[in-house]
């Protein structure tokens, strides 16, 4: 819980004093009305809602004092969130500047509310700039919260974003029907498609950073505090070259060398590359038969979808395709040399008591439980695909009706959690992609192979536990998933969706409707689980991109509807939004006062 002493917000009196040091005139917006802020305290109190707890009132007053220019444009109403690096407040846009300029982004067109994000002063300006700049770059999509305005007063920076009337994930994840899940993931993938198209990795995709309103069927991706630009190794061969600090010269003469020596060069090259933290073997998969198989350099670049890659140095291209997950073995002087033993000792069964090698570092920003295996394995070449894994984790939560899905006290635990679901063999294979060996021994509850039927079975087991304990309400949509999985996993004989004993009292019309409904639910589930497996692909290169996932059959009805075309995504076309608006408003009013009576429910009893 928040309390004044706990919150990292200043005591207002302190800040007023510090204001008197200078009138830091670094920018146009700040310091306009610094003069009489003390008198304004009372005013703020009067505009603040009565029922706010005192400590929040104090925070808000402190914020006004930090950024005096705020009060000209915004009335802060409430505090709506607190993260690791910032607090978020809800405020009224007094002049309507923001709401009119950015209206396509607002879900409710008559809304005058904005969100004020106060970034904690302990963050470096570089970090703050990175976040704000990324938001600025990403203003083009209404699936991503745009940066409407920003202000700075000394070290205090605030960002103004649209206010989105969303629901907390916890309130709906148990009750969202399959088509609602479809909408949720659709919106999220649309947002990610846009973000990824700009070469940006969000890094922290999780329910709290995706604001979704299930009644509107709209979602928006927020919080780019941990986001970063993706390194594109493929479009810029110089990148890899630069990693080889001056080593490339020895390589340039390779054309005249024997195969054996080419291999040697290649190994040296790899070794040098692998010494670089920004590199990971996963981006340069070698061929098992290398170097005897030298193909034409050019044919590789033509098929971009293939897993193969090429390292180019000084005009020489070494190429290697397919994946070699087994430890690399070469034959030198008639002796088999396992590269595990490059240093003359076998470190696969133990570790040096006094470690002298460097610890590998990699960007691991994000939230535990949502981290892709390559992040956990400190892969130096992480891509936008890490966000797709996080989408998978959310989808798994929605389907299995569990949140959070992972406990993950640390990265090691996270890996072991993945092992318990997917089996350690899958993780071992994944580790090999990133040039790592993985041994797990004597942990009896972690099996070599995960669930026989993959995630479907895992979800089934989770639902089954609840169905035995009676923890779902009688109206739960989880029974649909449970029914689908029971039939899919244990009743392979029938492809047709099977209804549980249907009641004879039903009219033909009702019976037809019911069958149609179930058909639809069954097919949605089929594609949804396929989507789930695609998100949880261990190999980041094989994992589908957001765009590819959006083309999955699961989303057919949404693509056909054309409400969210690729075009409207970028250009924020007004016509679509107007339609939506009308339609959404009616829902809001409907759901707010009306709410359907329970009698409307057609419950089929046993």
* From candidates 12, 392, 423, 435, binder to other proteins by CB under 8 A: 435
Pick one of 62, 147, 381, 455: the residue that binds other proteins (CB under 8 A): 147
Structure-block tokens of residue 146? 């745009």
- Does 170 bind other proteins (CB under 8 A)? Our answer is yes
Is-catalytic flag, 232?
A: no
Residue whose CB is less far from other proteins, 124 or 493: 124
Position among 339, 523, 527, 573 found at the interface with other proteins (CB under 8 A): 339
| Residue range at the interface with other proteins (CB under 8 A); choices 37-45, 104-112, 304-312, 396-404 | 396-404
Structure tokens at 304: 């971009």
- Under DSSP, is residue 354 helix (H, G, I), strand (E, B) or coil? coil
Find out whether 544 and 534 touch, Cβ atoms under 8 Å. Answer: yes
Reduce the DSSP state of residue 311 to 3 states and report it: strand
- 303 touches other proteins (CB under 8 A): no
Give the Cα separation of 256 and 264 in Å (integer).
13
User: Cβ distance 431 to 375 under 8 Å?
Assistant: no
Considering only residues 162, 219, 392, 483, which one is a binding residue for other proteins as defined by CB under 8 A? 483
Catalytic pick from 66, 149, 204, 524?
204
Q: In sequence order, what DSSP letters do the residues of 535-592 get, joined into one string?
A: HT-SSTTTSPPHHHHHTSGGGHHHHHHTTT-HHHHHH--HHHHHHHHHHHHHHHHIII
How many angstroms separate the CA atoms of 68 and 600, rounded?
54
Q: Which stretch binds other proteins (CB under 8 A): 42-50, 152-160, 309-317, 527-535?
A: 152-160
Q: Of 287-295, 308-316, 460-468, 535-543, which part binds other proteins (CB under 8 A)? A: 460-468
**Cα(551)–Cα(546) distance, rounded to whole angstroms?**
9
| By the rule CB under 8 A, 104 interacts with other proteins | no
Look at residues 485, 417, 427 and name the one whose alpha carbon lies nearest to residue 456: 485
The values of phi and psi at residue 92, to 5°, are: -95, 135
Residues 508-567 close enough to bind other proteins by CB under 8 A: 513-514, 517-518, 520-521, 555, 557-558, 561, 563
Stretch that binds other proteins, among 103-111, 232-240, 270-278, 545-553 (CB under 8 A): 270-278
Angle at the Cα of 311 (from 308 to 315), degrees rounded to 5?
130
CB of 235: closest distance to other proteins in angstroms? Answer: 26
Residue found under tokens 């449970």: 482
Instruction: Using CB under 8 A, pick the residue from 38, 294, 360, 582 that binds other proteins.
Output: 360
The nearest distance, CB 534 to other proteins, in angstroms, is 18
**Residue (520 or 566) nearer to other proteins, CB:** 520
Q: Out of 26, 96, 315, 562, point to the residue binding other proteins (CB under 8 A).
A: 26
Site for other proteins in 171-230 (CB under 8 A): 171-180, 182-183, 186, 204, 206, 208, 214-217, 225-226
Binds other proteins (CB under 8 A): choice among 480, 547, 566, 576? 480
User: From start to end of 468-507, where are the E strands?
Assistant: none
The one among 300, 328, 489, 541 contacting other proteins by CB under 8 A: 328
Of 58, 77, 112, 155, the one binding other proteins by CB under 8 A:
155
Whole-number Cα distances in Å, 173 to 177, 457, 477? 9, 20, 10
Distance set, CA 568 to CA 356, 362, 481 (Å): 55, 36, 33
Q: Which stretch binds other proteins (CB under 8 A): 311-319, 362-370, 537-545, 570-578?
A: 362-370
Closer to other proteins by CB, 271 or 295: give it: 271
Q: Looking at beta carbons only, is 315 or 500 nearer to other proteins?
A: 500
Structure-block tokens of residue 257: 């060398």
Q: Tell me 206's DSSP state.
A: S
Among residues 36 and 600, whose Cβ is nearest to other proteins? 600
User: Tokens 């994992």 map to which residue?
Assistant: 543
Which of helix, strand or coil describes residue 16?
Answer: helix
Site for other proteins in 308-327 (CB under 8 A): 327
Q: Which of 42, 46, 110, 124 binds other proteins (CB under 8 A)?
A: 124
Q: Which of 13, 47, 72, 84 binds other proteins (CB under 8 A)?
A: 84
Displacement of CA 379 from its chain's centroid (Å) = 17
Closer Cβ to other proteins, 34 or 300, answer by number: 34
392 counts as binding other proteins under rule CB under 8 A: no
Cβ burial of 446 (10 Å; 0-12, 13-18, 19+) is middle
In contact, 65 and 19? CB cutoff 8 Å? yes
Stretch touching other proteins by CB under 8 A, among 103-111, 193-201, 271-279, 387-395: 271-279
Task: Cite the active site residues.
Answer: 204
């Amino acid at each position: 819980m928040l309390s004044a002493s706990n919150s990292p917000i200043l005591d207002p009196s302190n800040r007023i004093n510090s204001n008197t040091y200078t009138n830091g005139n670094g920018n146009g917006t700040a310091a306009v009305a610094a003069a009489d802020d003390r008198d304004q305290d009372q005013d703020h109190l009067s505009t603040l809602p009565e029922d706010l707890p005192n400590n929040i009132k104090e925070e808000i007053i402190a914020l006004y004092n930090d950024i005096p220019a705020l009060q000209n444009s915004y009335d802060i109403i409430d505090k709506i969130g607190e993260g690791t690096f910032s607090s978020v407040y809800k405020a009224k846009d007094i002049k309507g500047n923001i709401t009119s300029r950015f209206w396509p982004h607002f879900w409710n067109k008559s809304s005058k509310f904005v969100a004020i994000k106060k970034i904690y002063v302990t963050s470096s300006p570089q970090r703050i700039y990175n976040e704000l700049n990324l938001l600025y770059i990403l203003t083009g999509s209404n699936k991503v919260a745009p940066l409407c305005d920003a202000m700075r007063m000394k070290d205090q920076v605030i960002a103004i974003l649209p206010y989105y009337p969303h629901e907390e994930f916890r309130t709906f994840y148990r009750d969202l029907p399959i088509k609602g899940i479809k909408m949720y993931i659709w919106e999220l993938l649309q947002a990610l498609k846009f973000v990824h198209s700009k070469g940006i990795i969000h890094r922290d995709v999780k329910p709290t950073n995706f604001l979704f309103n299930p009644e509107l069927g709209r979602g928006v991706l927020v919080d780019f505090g941990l986001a970063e630009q993706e390194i594109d190794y493929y479009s810029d061969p110089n990148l890899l070259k630069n990693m080889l600090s001056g080593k490339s010269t020895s390589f340039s003469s390779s054309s005249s060398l024997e195969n054996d020596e080419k291999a040697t060069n290649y190994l040296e090259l790899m070794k040098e590359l692998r010494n670089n933290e920004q590199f990971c073997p996963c981006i340069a998969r070698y061929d098992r038969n290398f170097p005897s198989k030298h193909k034409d350099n050019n044919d590789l670049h033509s098929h971009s979808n293939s897993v193969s890659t090429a390292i180019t140095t000084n005009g020489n291209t070494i190429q290697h395709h397919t994946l070699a997950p087994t430890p690399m073995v070469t034959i030198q002087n008639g002796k088999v040399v396992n590269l595990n033993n490059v240093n003359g000792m076998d470190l696969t069964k133990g570790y040096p008591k006094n470690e002298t090698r460097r610890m590998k570092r990699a960007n691991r920003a994000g939230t535990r439980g949502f981290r892709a295996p390559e992040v956990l394995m400190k892969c130096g070449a992480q891509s936008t695909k890490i966000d797709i894994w996080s989408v998978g984790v959310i989808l798994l939560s929605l389907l299995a009706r569990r949140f959070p899905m992972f406990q993950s006290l640390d990265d090691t635990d996270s890996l072991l959690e993945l092992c318990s679901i997917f089996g350690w063999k899958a993780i071992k294979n994944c580790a090999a992609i990133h040039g790592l060996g993985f041994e797990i021994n004597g942990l009896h509850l972690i099996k070599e192979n995960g669930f026989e039927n993959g995630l479907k079975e895992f979800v089934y087991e989770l639902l089954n536990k609840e169905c035995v304990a009676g923890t779902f309400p009688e109206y739960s949509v989880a029974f649909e998933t449970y029914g689908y999985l029971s039939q899919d996993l244990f009743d392979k004989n029938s492809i047709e969706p099977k209804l549980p004993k249907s009641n004879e009292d039903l009219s033909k019309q009702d019976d037809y409707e019911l069958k149609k409904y179930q058909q639809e639910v069954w097919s949605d589930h089929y594609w949804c689980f396929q989507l789930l497996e695609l998100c949880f692909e261990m190999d980041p290169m094989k994992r589908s991109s957001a765009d590819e996932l959006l083309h999955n059959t699961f989303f057919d009805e949404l693509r056909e509807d054309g409400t969210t075309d690729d075009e409207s995504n970028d250009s924020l076309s007004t016509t679509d939004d107007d339609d939506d608006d009308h339609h959404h408003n009616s829902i809001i009013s409907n759901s707010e006062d009306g709410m359907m009576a329970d009698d409307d429910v057609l419950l089929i009893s046993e």
